[in-house]
Amino acid sequence: MSNDKDKDNDKNMRICMVGGQALMEGIMMRGEHGYAQVIRNPEGELVTEVEKLPATDVNKFFTLPVIRGSYRLIDSLRIGMKSLFKSAEIAGLEDENEKKSKFDLWLEKKLGDKSTEVIMAIALVLSLALTITLFFLLPNLIAGLIIGKGKSRILYNLIEGVIRIAIFLGYLIAVSKMNDIKRVFMYHGAEHKTIHCYEHNDPLTIENVRKYTTLHPRCGTAFLFVVMIISILVYSLLPRFDLFILNLLMRILFLPLVAGIAYEFNRFAGRSNGIVARVLRAPGLAMQYFTTKEPTDDMIEIAIIALIKALEIDEEVRNPDVSQPETIEQAPREELVL
């Protein structure tokens, strides 16, 4: 009976195009036409910021399967980094009275208000460099030392992939022990639970959201894990060079292809609830036991407000002549409904 009920619930589920990101003491929810971020400041007040995305004409090439995955990944990184910086500022993690470095002062003098954007760009480049070093350069180097020259290319890539996954797991376990990151993972759980509630057509109340799981098939953690698995398959088709730097460059060049395939995989696994999809997405869901934690009610409240604001943006763009409901801030805490 329970299986039949689950199937009926699956049929009644609505497709949600909103994705989220946990921030410092807050959550950002992004829809098709804009995003909303809600952050709690040190005084306990909720700061809500909404931004519509410009209606630009994207070249059809960037909407093609596989290609669109890489394009959207870069765009998500840009918006995510911007929201993360903003949340740190609002949450009081950046002390305005703290002495600024000479580099910060030089940037402000030369660029004025644009200095923040430059700092974000530098931070993004550094984070990408760290990612490449930790998850591509290091596994490739270790695999080369273990296998040596003249051995099976498939075995080489398999060992490299296993090392990459091991480093990734070790990294998640290590950061999950940090108190500040634990709170981010709790907000991550609130984000997932709230989207689940909306997808199941339940009214968005704190009580309803509580009962849903913190695991979600469209999670970025699941995406990263899929990237690593697919990289093993894709890189096994590439030639192996004696020169280490050539092997590394080949992996970086083919990373957009790997990310694009992973995006299409997650898109399929997230929309389908068949046996095949469940089996394929199981490892990615398991990874979320490290990156999501059960949230508190005030975190769920933030997730609900952020989701509703993001949905309101999409609805306003689709139906500009329809009047919007009263703002969510006016509703009592236990009556937050969509």
Cβ of 331: how many Cβ atoms within 10 Å? Answer: 15
Instruction: Output the pLDDT for position 39.
Output: 95
Instruction: Provide the token pair at 325.
Output: 């409901």
For residue 61, what are the contacts with CB-CB under 8 A and spacing of at least 6? 67
Instruction: Output the pLDDT for position 102.
Output: 55
Instruction: Answer yes or no: is pLDDT of 193 > 80.
Output: yes
Residue found by looking up tokens 């059809």 in the block: 60
**Spatial distance between the Cα atoms of 319 and 314, rounded to a whole number of angstroms:** 9
Instruction: Provide the token pair at 158.
Output: 């398999």
**Spatial distance between the Cα atoms of 179 and 323, rounded to a whole number of angstroms:** 43
Instruction: Output the pLDDT for position 308.
Output: 95
Give per-residue pLDDT as tens, 128-185.
788 888 888 888 888 888 877 666 778 888 888 889 889 988 888 888 888 878 999 9
Instruction: Output the pLDDT for position 26.
Output: 95
Categorize the per-residue pLDDT at 197 as very low, low, confident or very high, splitting at 50, 70 and 90: very high
pTM of the predicted protein model: 0.77
Q: What phi and psi, each to the nearest 5 degrees, are found at residue 76?
A: -65, -40
Instruction: Provide the token pair at 161.
Output: 């992939």
Give per-residue pLDDT as tens, 203-240.
999 999 999 999 998 887 778 888 888 888 888 888 87
Categorize the per-residue pLDDT at 112 as very low, low, confident or very high, splitting at 50, 70 and 90: low
**How many Cα atoms within 13 Å fall on the side-chain side of residue 154?**
1
Averaged over 5-14, what is the pLDDT?
Answer: 54
Averaged over 188-203, what is the pLDDT?
Answer: 94
Q: Do 77 and 131 touch, CB atoms closer than 8 A?
A: no
Instruction: Answer yes or no: is pLDDT of 320 > 80.
Output: no
Mean pLDDT of the chain: 79
Instruction: Output the pLDDT for position 316.
Output: 87
Beta strand segments in 41-193, E? 46-52
For residue 93, what are the contacts with CB-CB under 8 A and spacing of at least 6? 24
Q: What phi and psi, each to the nearest 5 degrees, are found at residue 319?
A: -130, 75
- Report CA Rg, the chain: 22
Q: Do 223 and 263 touch, CB atoms closer than 8 A?
A: yes
**How many Cα atoms within 13 Å fall on the side-chain side of residue 145?**
7
